[in-house]
Chain A
Amino acid sequence: MLASLFVDAFRFIPDNAGLLLNKTAELAELAFTALGIAILIALPLGLWLGHRHRGLFVALAVSSAGRALPSIAIIGFFVAILGVGFWNNAVALVVLGIPPILTNTFFAVEGVDPDAVEAARGMGLTEEQILTRVELPLGLPLILAGLRIAAVFVIATATIAGIAGGGGLGEIIANQAAYGLPGVLAAALCVSAVALLTAAALALAQRAAFRRMAPTA
């Protein structure tokens, strides 16, 4: 029964390739837009707070809030404020994407060897140069780890957008009546594929960064 469901799902994929591709693109557009905005907000903020060694409280509060807030609640909240549509969902996903990026960036920069930073400052690097040439490269593996968590989280949650008029694969998943169980499963597989591919790409980048930033033997 389960096996035949998967067989049907895999048949659904080529039969409806156009639809799935279309919806996957919608999902990706939504998720990556939200992710991009989240990065634009959280990355500079985390870098700045980490560099100043300030805002530990903010970083921790944001990270636990991010973990505690149910994604459905956030999307529901923004449906109430912004109405149904792409931007309502995007804003909700931005809110969900910020915590892991902000927290990881903060701790990545905050945790850079203070001796290296003092040496840099003592040698006459400006604060901006300390950040871009010492703290950012040394913190990069941890920063990329944060991006990876945020990316998976945002892509997975973007599926819920289907319910709130955001389009994407969620529309198929939430509409079993129209697409049948194989369709739902096929759409879910597509979501997983996007999430896993993104995560894998970021994991590779993270590994490369780690090898570059912490070279040994």
Chain B
Amino acid sequence: MRTEAAELVFDEATKVYPGRESAAVDHLSLTVPAGEICVLVGPSGGGKTTALKLVNRLIPLTSGDIRIDGTSILEQDVVELRRSIGYVIQQVGLFPHMTVEGNIGTVPRLYRRPRSWIKARSAELLELVGLDPSYAKRFPAQLSGGERQRVGLARALAANPPLMLMDEPFGAIDPIVRARLQDEFLRLQKEIRKTVVFVTHDVDEAIKVGDRIAILREGGRLAQYDTPQQILEHPADEFVAEFVGRDRALKALALRTLGELELSPATEDGLPRLPADTSLRDALALLVAERRNALLVIGADGAPLGVATREDLLA
């Protein structure tokens, strides 16, 4: 599979809906580097979904520009533009009269790909999104919510687009399945390295999946655009601090792992042992729960790496 990705640039992108005084998206400027996940997050009325739909021109720009790999979306044929962008929505919108394979083959069929090509591609994509190839012949009505969303993702990936737009893709899915889908999506993204714009209203989801987070405030104004770490540790203003939550220090801990700490040599026995890829947040939770002050970090092979204290975790 090709692993090309495109750089996406919002350049003063503005949307004012007809008959409205205020903008839905207000002079939005940001650059999503190729191969990164940019999460648009914010309260309702922040224009996240509008900003997303400006990219594939489901909503026309009022002013400003959006460029994909340097080419303005306004210079491209709208149908060609959309076929070159993967699109995933919350309610999935699978076609109920087509099989899973038929759904996945939608855009390839528009490109007149032969049936055998579509069959092979569909099997490949099903495996990629974690579904058994036997799902190819099923109909959407026979799938669970999580399975439908996986098929929706596979369908969006079918033509191998360099850019993916995902509008609250896991919003309608129960928390346990959602967490699993997020993990699998991140694993998948490591493999395919697409440029992704991901809309959510859930700040924890934003922190988890985003390489960068754009926080939009009411009126579609960009409040902060930065890495999750930076946003949690250095919120640009009161609004951002409030939005990411009072527990932002804890959320920041969740982004780092024990392996990133400078460990001291092991001196005492009987310390709780945790693997190096445990997040600082989980490690701290364990120390609090067990009323301990230090823990032993162990490597993937089970060998002890060193000791981390409460102070180390919180430093």
In the complex, what's the smallest C-beta–C-beta distance from A205 to chain B, in angstroms?
15
Q: Are B141 and A216 in contact (CB under 8 A)?
A: yes
In the complex, what's the smallest C-beta–C-beta distance from A115 to chain B, in angstroms?
4
Q: Are B141 and A214 in contact (CB under 8 A)?
A: yes
Given contacts A119-B93, A212-B97, contact A126 B58 (CB under 8 A): no
Partner of B96, one of A118, A123, A129, A213: A213
Q: Are A113 and B83 in contact (CB under 8 A)?
A: no
A62 within 8 A of B: no
Given contacts A121-B82, A216-B141, contact A115 B97 (CB under 8 A): no
Partner of A215, one of B84, B89, B106, B141: B141
Q: Are B82 and A137 in contact (CB under 8 A)?
A: no
A138 within 8 A of B: yes
Interface residues on A, range: 20 to 34
**Considering residues A115, A116, A118, A212, which has the most beta carbons from chain B within 10 angstroms of its beta carbon?**
A116
Given contacts A115-B89, A123-B83, A129-B110, contact A216 B97 (CB under 8 A): no
Taken together as a complex, chains A and B put the C-alpha atoms of A122 and B163 apart, in Å, by 13
Partner of A138, one of B58, B96, B110, B165: B96
B198 within 8 A of A: no
A124 within 8 A of B: yes
Q: Which A77-126 residues have a C-beta within 8 angstroms of B?
A: 113, 115-126
Taken together as a complex, chains A and B put the C-alpha atoms of A119 and B153 apart, in Å, by 12
**Considering residues A117, A118, A129, A137, which has the most beta carbons from chain B within 10 angstroms of its beta carbon?**
A118
Q: Are A115 and B142 in contact (CB under 8 A)?
A: no
Chain A residues in 8 Å Cβ range of B155:
123
Chain A residues in 8 Å Cβ range of B80:
124
Extra 13 A-B pairs, beta carbons < 8 Å, given A120-B93, A125-B106: A115-B92, A116-B93, A116-B95, A119-B93, A122-B58, A123-B82, A124-B84, A124-B107, A125-B79, A138-B95, A214-B141, A215-B96, A217-B142
20 A-B interface contacts by CB (under 8 A): A116-B96, A117-B93, A118-B58, A119-B89, A119-B93, A119-B95, A120-B95, A122-B89, A123-B83, A123-B156, A124-B79, A125-B79, A126-B79, A138-B95, A214-B141, A215-B96, A215-B97, A215-B139, A216-B142, A217-B141
On A, residues with C-beta under 8 Å from B are 113, 115-126, 129, 134, 137-138, 212-217
